[in-house]
Structure 1
Amino acid sequence: MGVCDAMRHNTPVGKPTAMSAPHLPKVAGIDPMVPVSTHTAAPAEGLPSAPGALIQDRLVGWVSDLTTLHELTERLAGTSTLDSALHELLAAGAALVGAGRGLLVLEPAGAGGPSRTIGLGLAHAELGTIETVPRSATAYGRFLDGLPDTDVPLASPDILADTGLDPRCREVAARLGYAASYAQPLAARTAGRLGAAVWLYDEPAEPLERQRHLVGVYARYAAEHLARLLELERARADAAAMAEELLPGGLPRIPGVRLAARHRAAPGGGGDWYDALPLPDHALGLSVGSAGGSGPAALAAMGRLRAGLRAYAVLEGEDPVAVLSDLELLLRLTEPGRAATALYAYCEPGRRTVVLAGAGHTPPLVTGEWRTEFVETTLSAPLGMLSCWEAPSVEFTPRSGETVLFYTDGLLRRTGATTDRAFARLHSAAAGVPKALRQDPGAVADHVLRAVLPEGADRGTGEDVALLAARFD
């Protein structure tokens, strides 16, 4: 059984009753058939010593240890999210110290967040039971609080027999059926204290010195990896917060139309936007678009394009072609190396008319009780791709009770399907909105997102999604 299988099945390195045995069972690259020295055992009395054999024995043990650590650290390095890294660390540590269960508490020093608690072989309710023990009475709590003399691992080989422990510790251990624990602090050189891992044994036991050394080396590497993932997650959270700040804080209320919007930011921050602007004579300007690229540069470009489009809509909002032509000029002058797509619609809710133009953008979708169809728009290259952009606008009239969906192409790309299949999935999702939900544009938007992007289909794709729904009365 290799490292992967051992960790997947939570196979302990040794049974708790045999934790003081001089050799480790086969797990994570350690072969029980190879005699492995504990580095402290003396030759048996009455037998001739064999220095060469002893050295070879130790070398085999060291090679086995290096192989184990190499396999485990490679698996950990392959994790790209904080949650996957935490679960990998907890499972690998359990295999190294020979425990079947455990928990890991992530609580970076200085309230740097994010904080979370995960378990191995423990249900959510069991984790809650463990958390009822006073924090100061637990090893992980003492680590996290930075109490004196808590910067080294702590073993509790017989919890039920240790009268020095808090009575609540023994009570919870008896209820959950574990009799011993081994706690390992997690700290990185630059980030400082990150959290602690605790592994639980079903019988009184404690890891061998060699096992402690291996899990300590692994934990130090894991802490540095966690620190990098924490920094990445904070950067992603900051980018998402910045993107939300650049989007409208609210949607206008115009007689004859109701609006709802949904936005899902990409992990690295994307450049998709939506906007709704009240115009004179109870008119409404609606726009969606996407600035090419990702990260802070795309966010900044998105903010400039959205602000520019709002200004042009106020000046000449009745002519979507003129609005996008001005936006093309703005993009070419300010960011000549960037491309963008945009769609702008001038709506008169009282007359239920919509005049729109698009620059390389996906067509809107109108859906209601009697029809669901894409609006036919003229073909055009994206903004920034031509020396001068101009394409004719189109006009259509939504029926009473129909909802027009404006969306960015990230919605299609997140499906992972081909373009034709993605459009078909979107059309099917809109057509399948239950009648009871069609009165609320927010419910329509939510249903479409759930149907187009089932659970797991929209994770880790690096695509922004913006969806604007306008229901006409």
Structure 2
Amino acid sequence: MGVRDAMHRNALLGEPTVMSAPHLPKVAGIDPVVPVSTQTAAPLKAVPPAPAALIQDRLASWVSDLTTLHELTERLAGTSTLDDALRELLGAGAALVGARRGLLVLEPADGAVTSRTIGLGLAHAELGHIETVPRDATPYGSLLDGLPGTDGPLACPDIPGDASLDPRCREVAARLGYAASYALPLTTVAAGRLGAAVWLYDEPAEPLERQCHLIGLYARHASEHLARLTELERARADIAAIAEELLPIRLPRVPGVRLAVRHRSAPRGGGDWYDALPLPDDALGLAVGSVGGTGPAALAAMGRLRAGLRAYAVMEGEDPVAVLSDLELLLRLTEPATAATALYAYCEPGRRTVLLAGAGHTPPLVTGDRRTAFVETSLSAPLGMLSCWEAPSVEFSPGSGETVLLYTDGLLRRTADSMDHAFARLHAAAAGAPKVLRQDPGALADHVLHTLLPDGLDRDGDGEDVVLLAARFD
């Protein structure tokens, strides 16, 4: 806002050289720009410009440029996601070169992240028109493909009048109303070529030498920032893929109950998990849990904990207390410095009974047409905090058409409310679900999530995993 608007209003970089040139002093009240009469016997000698004034003007110009560059790089450094950084780079570059529109193509040479194109002042359809031009005929395509003579910026100061350009290039320029372009490669020594940015002028034009110098400095700094964010996005994608591989690929089908799950991992990789496994006699085991911490260590602990629970659920049968007791022992032996919460429910859909035990975990919520209530579970410590864990189990019977919601506390924490208020909002979201949505556990889960988190599960900056497992009993 402030920097770019001020630059466009004052035309800092496009100021005519006449405005900044030193004025010749007046001598004896005569303006020196007025020609001396030929009747003068001895014309005045040319008065040289004052060196001090010239140096002062240049210093002021340099200070102004450095201040502008500093403010723009500070704004860029404040971006924490790749998409935000790309938009900031494109907008700041347009201000520096005096353009109104542009586009940026991110296409890392190593394929670190998915290629993407963003526009400034260009609608999606207009970007589509530009992409119909043969790639090697576009400035960004030449830069990305490393064609000969594309080591630096590419300027097309007069697109309509340049007969050497591809006819399709001039046709699209005429249709979209731009007459000149200035393109820069985005490269770093370590990562190589990351992409290219192109700024578009409404009239034939070309940035001044001073503008080219500033945008070059800014682009070098921006490329390093983009390289770091690209690597970070790739690491986050790898962590998310690992987390998904550690969780069930698909939910089982058991007569009398329908299942749905919604799960998102934190950017740095959290330890929230869930499981649903068919057991003998058409029984069903449901589990949710959370391991403290983030990153690879939390993911590894989560994977071991879930694998252990599956084994104990098969061995211990219908005793959820014994399952969590065995899990406590496993955690103390394999992850002595880790704390975790867990909830395990042994379900018999044919009889519509649920026997569950929890270790420091949030209570399930039962919702239907006639009631919405939290299940009263016994107070217990998280796994790994006691030398021996054991708490009584709780049995309840969901009615026909009721849904049991199991979730992790990340769902509550993402609301940014106090826990009491978050519980109340969860209850209200489930109770207020339309009747038609209650027929489908997936639709009900989506409604609850949208009500609690209007910005969605993928909102940037959230540091909490979310798990919501819904089981609807027929």
TM-score in terms of structure 2 length: 0.92
Q: Is contact 2:158–2:180 with CA below 8 Å preserved after alignment?
A: yes
- 1:299 corresponds to 2:299: yes
Counterpart residue number, 2:86: 86
Alignment correspondent of 1:41: none
Q: Which amino acid aligns with 1:5?
A: G
Q: What residue identity is the alignment partner of 1:328?
A: E
| Equivalent in the alignment of 2:126 | 126
Matching residue's letter, 2:317: G
Deviation at 1:8, TM superposition (A): 6.0
Rounded to whole Å, the distance in 2 between the matches of 1:165 and 1:220 is: 28
Partner of 2:174: 174
* 1:36–1:60 contact (8 Å) kept in structure 2: no
1:137 alignment partner AA:
A
Contact 1:36/1:58, CA 8 A, preserved across alignment: no
**Structure 1 equivalent of residue 30 of structure 2:** none
Distance 2:190 2:473 in 1: 56
Other-structure match for 1:7: 4
**1:185 partner letter:** P
Q: Tell me which amino acid in the other structure corresponds to 2:150.
A: T
CA distance in 2, matches of 1:22, 1:75: 29
Q: Structure 2: which amino acid aligns with 1:459?
A: D
Distance 1:333 1:11 in 2: 65
Task: Please give the secondary structure, in 1, of the residue aligned with 2:270.
Answer: coil
Corresponding residue number in structure 2 for 1:140:
140
Tell me, in whole angstroms, the C-alpha distance in 2 between the residues paired with 1:311 and 1:67: 63
DSSP-derived class of the 2:263 partner = strand
CA contact (8 A) 1:364 1:404 kept: yes
The Cα offsets for residues 72-117 of structure 1, whole Å up to 9 and x where unpaired, read as 1111000000011001000110110001111111111132322111
Q: Using the alignment, how far apart are the partners of 1:349 and 1:364 within structure 2?
A: 17
Query: Does the aligned pair in 1 maintain the 2:3–2:71 contact within 8 Å?
Result: no
Seen in structure 2, the aligned counterparts of structure 1 residues 310 and 342 have a Cα distance that, compared at 3 Å, is same
SS for the counterpart of 2:93 is helix
Distance in 2 of aligned mates of 1:388 and 1:249: 33
CA contact 2:3–2:68 (8 Å) conserved in 1 = no
Contact between 1:12 and 1:98, CA under 8 Å: does it hold in 2?
Answer: no
Q: In structure 2, what is the Cα distance between the partners aligned to 1:229 and 1:12?
A: 32
Q: Distance in 2 between matches of 1:430 and 1:348?
A: 23
Secondary structure of residue in 1 paired with 2:286: strand
Contact 1:10 1:91 in 2 (8 A): no
Q: Which region of structure 1 is more displaced relative to structure 2, 70-79 or 451-460?
A: 451-460
Alpha-carbon distance in 1 for matches of 2:72, 2:7: 14
Quote how far apart the aligned CAs of 1:202 are: 1.1
Q: Distance in 2 between matches of 1:446 and 1:364?
A: 17
1:247-278 per-residue CA deviation (whole Å, 9 max, x = no partner) reads 00111111111111111111111101110111
Q: Does 1:197 align with 2:192?
A: no
For residues 159 and 13 of structure 1, what CA distance do their matches in structure 2 show?
27
Q: Structure 1: how far apart are the matches of 2:328 and 2:321?
A: 10
Structure 1, unmatched stretches of 5+, are: 24-31, 38-43
Q: Distance in 2 between matches of 1:282 and 1:72?
A: 63
The yes-or-no answer on 1:102 pairing with 2:102 is yes
1:214-270: per-residue Cα shift (whole Å, max 9, x none)?
Answer: 000000000000000000000000000000000001111111111111111111111
The corresponding residue for 1:464 is 465
Cα distance in 1 for residues equivalent to 2:464 and 2:162: 54
State whether residues 449 and 456 of structure 2, in contact with CA within 8 Å, keep that contact through their aligned partners in structure 1. Answer: no
Q: What SS does the aligned partner of 1:80 have?
A: coil
Quote the Cα distance in structure 2 between the aligned partners of 1:14 and 1:169. Answer: 29
C-alpha distance in structure 1 between counterparts of 2:290 and 2:108, whole Å: 36
- Please report how far the alpha carbon of residue 10 of structure 1 lies from its aligned counterpart in structure 2 after TM superposition: 8.4
Given that residues 13 and 97 in structure 1 are in contact (C-alpha distance below 8 angstroms), is that contact kept between their aligned partners in structure 2? no
1:64 corresponds in structure 2 to: 64
Residue 80 of structure 1 aligns with an amino acid whose one-letter code is S
In structure 2, C-alpha distance between the alignment counterparts of 1:276 and 1:9, rounded to whole Å = 59
Q: Is the 8 A contact 1:19 1:206 kept in 2?
A: no
2:16 aligned partner: 21
Offset from partner CA, 1:305-353 (integer Å, 9 cap, x none): 0001111111113111111111111111111111111000011111110
- 1:28 paired residue number: none
CA distance, structure 1, for counterparts of residue 227 and residue 21 of structure 2: 34
Alpha-carbon deviations, 1:382-419, whole Å to 9, x = none? 11112211111100000011110101111111111111
CA gap of 1:55–1:9, structure 2 versus 1, over 3 A, is closer
Q: Which amino acid is 1:129 matched to?
A: H
Deviations 1:144-195 (A, max 9, x none): 1111110110111111111111111111111111111111110012111011
Q: Gaps (5+ residues) in structure 2?
A: 23-32, 34-44
CA distance in 2, matches of 1:137, 1:14: 31
Structure 1 pair 201/46, CA: closer, same or farther in 2 (3 Å)? farther
Assess, with a 3 A threshold, how the Cα gap between structure 1 residues 47 and 171 changes in structure 2: closer, same or farther: farther
- The structural deviation recorded for 1:21 is 2.5
TM-superposed CA distance for 1:7, in Å, is 2.7
Distance apart, 1:444 and its partner CA:
1.3
Q: Is the 8 Å Cα contact of residues 410 and 463 (structure 1) preserved in structure 2?
A: yes
Separation (CA, whole Å) in 1 of partners of 2:88 and 2:340: 40
Q: How many residues align?
A: 452
The residue number in structure 1 matching 2:353 is 353
Aligned ranges 1:200-219 → 2 under 5 Å: 200-219=200-219
Amino acid across the alignment from 1:202: D
1:394 alignment partner in structure 2: 394
Using the alignment, how far apart are the partners of 1:456 and 1:436 within structure 2?
22
SS at match of 1:293: strand
What is the aligned partner in structure 1 of residue 36 from structure 2?
none
Partner amino acid, structure 2, of 1:83:
D
TM-score, length of structure 1 as denominator length: 0.92
State the superposition RMSD in angstroms.
2.0
C-alpha deviation, 1:51, in angstroms: 2.7
Query: Identity of aligned pairs, percent?
Result: 77
Moved more, 151-160 or 51-60: 51-60
Following superposition, the deviation at residue 459 of structure 1 comes to 3.4
In structure 1, the residue matched to 2:111 is 111
After superposition, the Cα gap between the structure-2 partners of 1:19 and 1:57, relative to the gap in structure 1 and judged at 3 Å, is closer
Matched, 1:449 2:446: no
